[in-house]
Amino acid sequence: MKIFIINHKKYVKDILNKLLIYFFWIFIWYLIYLILSQEILVPSPFQVLKRLVHLVATLEFWLILNYTIIRMLIGFLIAVFASLTFAILTSLSYNLSIVINPLIHVIKSTPVISFIVIALILMKSNGVPIFISFLVSFPIMYSCLYQGILQVDLKLLNMSKVFYSSKINILKKVYIPSVLPFFISACSTAIGMAWKAEVTAEVIANTRYSIGEKLYESKIYMDTVDLFAWTISIIFISITMENIVLSVINKCFNKYMNYKIRI
């Protein structure tokens, strides 16, 4: 009971500290608004909050949010499966890894805007955000998974081959626990990058029924309040999605988290 009370107090204290930090930055925002006194440059936080509440209460907001999230998740999931496949193949073949690595470096080094322009030439605007989400996620996921597979303890692997006759058991008891931390780290980074790249692609491609389309309209009509409201929603959605994805991974692979091989 005492431990529960202590943990509860710590949880409440953490929440209060976070709220104080948020209020501090909102106060700084409000000061900047007062100093500039030009809502077209920096709108009032109260006006933005009012607009955000109004947006959340509309069906259009949730439809747009739904379409944008679906596009991003499609690209991200394709990247997960593709990166896992290539990571396994390149870990088995050194020659293949030599061939793939220059492509990974090119994707990492090339500005996202270049890929967006190329994608606009090759496909419809609705497909561009999916392609960009995949392209941004893939090198991050691949690099982490490839390193994770290479980091598997060879002594442990050799020992497990003696005691575990089934390849499925070796996969479950050696590879998954070893690679899982790399996978979680990759997902944590890639999901945020994919989300930002997705919205950027939507703005440039002017994708219909998307958050990017609303940002573009805000720019066209010089509606800074709307721009800030949608931007804040993007930030909250990004944080929420990252937490949800990591929570799902933790639940699916919970039994592998702290697994120790037993002989």
Per-residue pLDDT band at 108 (split at 50, 70, 90): confident
Task: Please choose, from the candidates 242, 256, 247, the residue with its C-alpha nearest in 3D space to the C-alpha of residue 180.
Answer: 256
Same domain, 19 and 101: no
Same domain, 134 and 88: yes
Per-residue pLDDT band at 222 (split at 50, 70, 90): confident
Same domain, 99 and 145: yes
Same domain, 143 and 55: yes
Task: Please choose, from the candidates 167, 227, 234, the residue with its C-alpha nearest in 3D space to the C-alpha of residue 194.
Answer: 234
Report if residue 262 sits inside a domain.
no
**CATH number, position 225:** 1.10.3720.10
User: For position 129, what pLDDT does the model report?
Assistant: 93
Same domain, 27 and 113: no
Per-residue pLDDT band at 91 (split at 50, 70, 90): confident
Instruction: Give the count of domains, the chain.
Output: 2
C-alpha 149: how far from its chain's center?
22
Same domain, 109 and 18: no
Same domain, 90 and 133: yes
Same domain, 26 and 114: no
Q: What is the pLDDT of residues 7-55, one digit of tens each?
A: 556 666 777 887 888 888 888 988 988 888 887 788 888 999 999 999 9
- Residue 82: pLDDT above 50? yes
Do 87 and 145 meet the contact criterion of CB atoms below 8 Å apart? yes
Alpha helices in the chain (DSSP H): 2-36, 45-56, 59-92, 94-109, 112-122, 127-150, 154-163, 167-170, 176-205, 211-220, 224-252
Report if residue 150 sits inside a domain.
yes
- Residue 258: pLDDT above 70? no
Report if residue 263 sits inside a domain.
no
User: For position 6, what pLDDT does the model report?
Assistant: 53
Same domain, 145 and 30: no
Residue with tokens 């573009």: 216
What average pLDDT does the structure give for the chain?
Answer: 83
Per-residue pLDDT band at 260 (split at 50, 70, 90): very low
Average pLDDT over residues 90-117: 88
Same domain, 133 and 23: no
Residue with tokens 């800030």: 228
- Residue 78: pLDDT above 70? yes
User: For position 261, what pLDDT does the model report?
Assistant: 39
For residue 183, give every residue at least 6 positions away whose Cβ sits within 8 Å of its Cβ, in sequence order, or none.
Answer: 144, 145, 148, 249
For residue 178, give every residue at least 6 positions away whose Cβ sits within 8 Å of its Cβ, in sequence order, or none.
Answer: 148, 151, 152, 153
Q: What is the pLDDT of residues 192-201, one digit of tens each?
A: 899 999 999 9
* 67, 72, 75, 77 alpha-carbon torsion, rounded to 10°: -100
Same domain, 75 and 189: yes
Give the residue, 60 or 173, on which the prediction is more confident: 60
Q: What is the pLDDT of residues 109-158, one digit of tens each?
A: 888 889 999 999 988 888 899 999 999 999 999 999 988 888 876 666 66
**Separation in Å, CA 237 to CA 126, 186, 242, 244:** 20, 19, 8, 10
Same domain, 184 and 144: yes
Buried b (16+ CB within 10 A) or exposed e, 240-263: ebbeebeeeeeeeeeeeeeeeeee
Report if residue 224 sits inside a domain.
yes
Domain that residue 4 falls in: 1-37
Report if residue 261 sits inside a domain.
no
